[in-house]
Amino acid sequence: MMSAVVDVRLPDGGKLINLSNLKKNQIIKLELWATVFGKNTNNTDDALQSLIGSFTSTNVSGGATRGGLTASILGPFNAMASNVGASVDLDGDGDRDIGSKNASLPDGFFAVRSNTLNRAGKGVAGGRSYHIGDLQFTVSELLQTGTVAKGATEINFRPRAASTQGVWMEDGVCLIGNGGLSAGAPVVVKRVAATSPTSSGMAKSAAVFSSKPIDGLV
């Protein structure tokens, strides 16, 4: 089974942001990583050339925030046919996602492409990982504005549901992705009381009072 995963994460690899005093127009900065996994233990014969899909900010149990996503692409994956994607509400929750609902056409989707199969990524167990771009979520509205919001906002990648999801190489064999592209776990944004502790080492808790970067925030 072909295996490539697009992972949205905080700059330090974290997945959870607990925010107190979240402000309108606050920016949450995220990184986009793509990892190609082969079946053997030699990660020098895995490579990535292109991927295509969408990004959504989905509100769960009423959500924590509403806002808009914007993306940027890092070289060498910004070659011809790459695209930062269209700004559109894909899930009907009133905020701006990135991508398209029309899987039959590539128009509007977020797409990265290198001119060649790229083996220069970071070696990981069973594959190679690439920092393909960055994502920003700009808060436009706070939801459930009580002492503690019960809902959450999940930010994640969604592969294009089409026969061509990308081009990569596993175990020295060049493949055109068809069903082998998936998303990692979402980044979860929660609003918490200012005195609430983080729930785990992966959690990020911040009382935001300035425009300086704090735990992936600006």
pLDDT confidence tier of residue 98, bands split at 50, 70 and 90:
very high
Residue 132 confidence (pLDDT) above 80: yes
The per-residue pLDDT for range 104-126, each reduced to its tens digit, is 999 999 999 999 999 999 999 88
Residue ranges of domains in the chain? 4-207
**More confidently predicted of 151 and 184:** 184
Residue 214 confidence (pLDDT) above 60: no
Q: Quick check: 53 and 5 in contact, CB under 8 A?
A: no
CA distances from 108 to 100, 104, 156 (A): 5, 11, 17
- Burial class of residue 97 (count of CB atoms within 10 Å of its CB; 0-12, 13-18, 19+): buried
Tallying the residues shown for the chain, one arrives at 218
Question: Is 4-207 a domain of CATH 2.60.40?
Answer: yes
- Sign for the CA dihedral angle at 21, 8, 51, 117 comes to positive
CA distances from 106 to 97, 103, 160, 161, 177 (A): 16, 7, 9, 11, 14
pLDDT confidence tier of residue 205, bands split at 50, 70 and 90:
very low
Of the ranges 18-27, 65-74, 145-154, which one carries the lowest mean pLDDT score? Answer: 145-154
Of 72, 70, 71, 63, the C-alpha closest to 94 is: 63
Average pLDDT over every residue of 18-33: 84
